[in-house]
Chains A and B, each alone.
Chain A
């Protein structure tokens, strides 16, 4: 009983990329409707998010990026067989084409900002509880304004990642032209020098995971 694992949807391709997929499986190509899908076949696969598997998925995706626009699949996307994959692609063909257009020539950069810890005093009553929450929220937004928002001026698009329970770390993704990566990184370094109380990091280039989302 086999299954297939999807890495990405791309512009039309003539052959699959170099290298192997998860569990060293060979990479295969499905051509449908002006798009291509890159996948691998497995007898059994439980793609848990172990670092090695994550990096392998990303490596496959990045091999595709020099050849054209790439919509990276979410990690862990599997199908019963290529027919099921083809059907899914056909259903969302126009949205996928639009998204390819959007990300063509661009890469994603990740930025994280760590703010200083807020003072944690026990609230006496309802009012002081809200005041403390409000102050924390405002501090966070002020931090974002000084960093994330300023960086968005240098990107084609930006998207903030919210975490359910993360008081003092801000995260954002930036869609940037491939040739602009160094300049963007330089801007982050500059910001770090200006904002000494904050700890900034920037990684990439990644495939544009944050700018493809749910194919509407």
Chain B
């Protein structure tokens, strides 16, 4: 596929393609990836703080079962 200049979304299809890819990118970069304890800046920290906070909350409730991560084959 030929590469297009990022600032020239010519055909409507190109914009839609970027949107679909961007959604998947956002899913991964903001919720996945290695988490090393560091100083996470506020703009992102809000999401991660909610993560950590919720996990502690849920496990203290003690009622949740861990269903496992992998899909059945």
Interface stretch among A43-51, A118-126, A132-140? A43-51
Residues of A within 8 A of B42 (CB): 46
Number of A-B contacts (CB under 8 A): 139
B8 at the interface (CB under 8 A from A): no
Report yes or no: B44 in contact with A161, Cβ–Cβ below 8 A: no
The distance in angstroms between the C-alpha atoms of A9 and B38, with both chains bound, is 14
Report yes or no: B33 in contact with A78, Cβ–Cβ below 8 A: no
Number of interface residues of A (CB under 8 A): 58
The distance in angstroms between the C-alpha atoms of A148 and B70, with both chains bound, is 11
If A46-B41, A75-B44, A209-B28 touch, whether A157 touches B70 (CB-CB below 8 Å) is: yes
If A72-B34, A74-B32, A158-B71 touch, whether A49 touches B26 (CB-CB below 8 Å) is: yes
Considering only CB atoms, which chain A residue lies closest to B36 in the complex?
A: A88
Residues of A within 8 A of B37 (CB): 88, 91
Interface residues of B (CB under 8 A from A): 20-45, 48, 69-73
Interface residues of A (CB under 8 A from B): 3, 6, 8-9, 45-49, 51, 54-55, 57-58, 71-80, 84-85, 88-89, 91-92, 96, 99, 108, 110, 112, 148-149, 152-153, 157-161, 171-173, 201, 203-204, 206-207, 209-210, 212-215
